[in-house]
Each structure stands twice: as structure tokens, then as C-alpha cells.
């Protein structure tokens, strides 16, 4: 839907700055799940046709939404991350985490009147205890993301 040519292999060494994207279809309703490759922090949004043509700009907004949902300073994160680049996904474990999030979405909780799906985003980021690619064991994505960002910022 984004009409992109073949993407290069992911080269980023720091998974905290990598986000995987997945389209989820509920009939006519199209959602995009953006999931941090290291911590599983996510943003879930309704997609319009125009959004797919500008996926790089849309992805930046989703990242800002996810970082803001974790209660962190978006500008500082983007400063540390650098520019936006599109590549393939970041391996089987990160991809599996993103697919798990996509399968947990409940179509009855999706509000197509809202662009950002705040209820689902907050549930997955702040109340769901899960595994992720960047850590062993279980934890809450927003807490793990905040810990990792503090460690990198210092």
C-alpha cells in the first residue's frame, strides 16, 4: 500500500531506535501497528489512503505518539535517534513481538473516529506484561523503553 520498492536490510545496531511496522486489516478498517524493536513500545493508528503514500512522515508521528504515551520527551529521543530511514524488519524475535501485538487487537475496541488508538496503545504500553527482543524475561514496554532511553542519554 505504500508503493515502496525493495527495502534494504536493517543496519541499525541500537534496537531502541528501530521500529517495525505492520498493517492490520479488520475488513474495511486498516490499522498500522508501530512497535519498537527493542522494548515492544507501540503506537496503533487508523490509516487513510494518503497516509500510506507518506509512510515515512506517518511513522515519525507514530513514534512521537508512542514515546509520548510512555511519558518521555519526544524531542530528546528523536535527537538521539537521528534521521528516519526505512528498511526490512529487525529479525524473527522483533517480528514475532509485533505479530503478537497485531493478533491481540480487538476489533470491537477500535474506534474508527479516532486516528490514534489511545486505549489500545496505552493498554499495550503501560498495562501489558510481555517479553521483548531487547530484554530477558517479562516487563512493561513503557518502563523498559524509559530505562533504555535513560541509559543511552546518560
pLDDT of residue 87: 61
Give per-residue pLDDT as tens, 10-45: 566 678 888 888 888 887 778 888 888 889 898 888
Question: What is the pTM (predicted TM-score) of this model?
Answer: 0.82
User: Which has the closest alpha carbon to 153: 67, 85, 86?
Assistant: 67
Cα distances from 20 to residues 36, 71, 109, in angstroms, run 6, 21, 23
Give per-residue pLDDT as tens, 101-110: 778 888 888 8
pLDDT of residue 100: 79
Domains of the chain, by residue range, sit at 15-153
* Angstrom distance (rounded) from CA 20 to CA 34: 6
Read off the C-alpha cell for 113: 473516529
| CATH T-level fold of 15-153 | Nucleotidyltransferase; domain 5 (3.30.420)
Amino acid at each position: 500500500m505504500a508503493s515502496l520498492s525493495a527495502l534494504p536490510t536493517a543496519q541499525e545496531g541500537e534496537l531502541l531506535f528501530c521500529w517495525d511496522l505492520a498493517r492490520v486489516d479488520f475488513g474495511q478498517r486498516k490499522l498500522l501497528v508501530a512497535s519498537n524493536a527493542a522494548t515492544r513500545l507501540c503506537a496503533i493508528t487508523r490509516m487513510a489512503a494518503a497516509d500510506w503514500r507518506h509512510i515515512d512522515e506517518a511513522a515519525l508521528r507514530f513514534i512521537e505518539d508512542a514515546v509520548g504515551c510512555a511519558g518521555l520527551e519526544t524531542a530528546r529521543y528523536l535527537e538521539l535517534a537521528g534521521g528516519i530511514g526505512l528498511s526490512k524488519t529487525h529479525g524473527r524475535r522483533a517480528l514475532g513481538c509485533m505479530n503478537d501485538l497485531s493478533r491481540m487487537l480487538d476489533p470491537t475496541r477500535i474506534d474508527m473516529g479516532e486516528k490514534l488508538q489511545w486505549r489500545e496503545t496505552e493498554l499495550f504500553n503501560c498495562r501489558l506484561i510481555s517479553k521483548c527482543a531487547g530484554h530477558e524475561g517479562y516487563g512493561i514496554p513503557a518502563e523498559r523503553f524509559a530505562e533504555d532511553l535513560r541509559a543511552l542519554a546518560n
